[in-house]
Amino acid sequence: MDILQEQWWQGAQEDENAVILDVRTEGEWNEGIIPGAMHIDIYKGQGFIYQVDELDKTKNYYIYCRSGGRSGQACSIMQQMGFANTYNLVGGIMEWNGPIVMPE
């Protein structure tokens, strides 16, 4: 489901079952992330599927990429895999007005 950043961030902060997922490339990840994000690169193809398949399907996934395209794809893929709640950040990190930190 596509949601605007205010709702997306509020949901990610207030939802005790939330997981923030960054689906960008390693290079993009290293330029800065939304705090608390985990990283699975959607361009890894089958590797992405394998890693996502190990995630807890009962959690709520707040997903982002650079502009919202790849994260939208990730939401669709994950829904097909049985994830009930996936939320795509409209506009991605390019339009993000919230906090950004460097990955550890």
Active-site residue among 37, 65, 74, 93? 65
Residue 33 DSSP symbol: B
Instruction: Examine the residue annotation and report whether 65 is marked as an active-site residue of this protein.
Output: yes
| Residue 10 to residue 47: CA distance in whole angstroms | 30
Give Cα separations from 5 to 44, 58, 86, 94 (angstroms): 26, 22, 14, 11
Quote the tokens at residue 97. 């007005």
- Active-site positions? 65
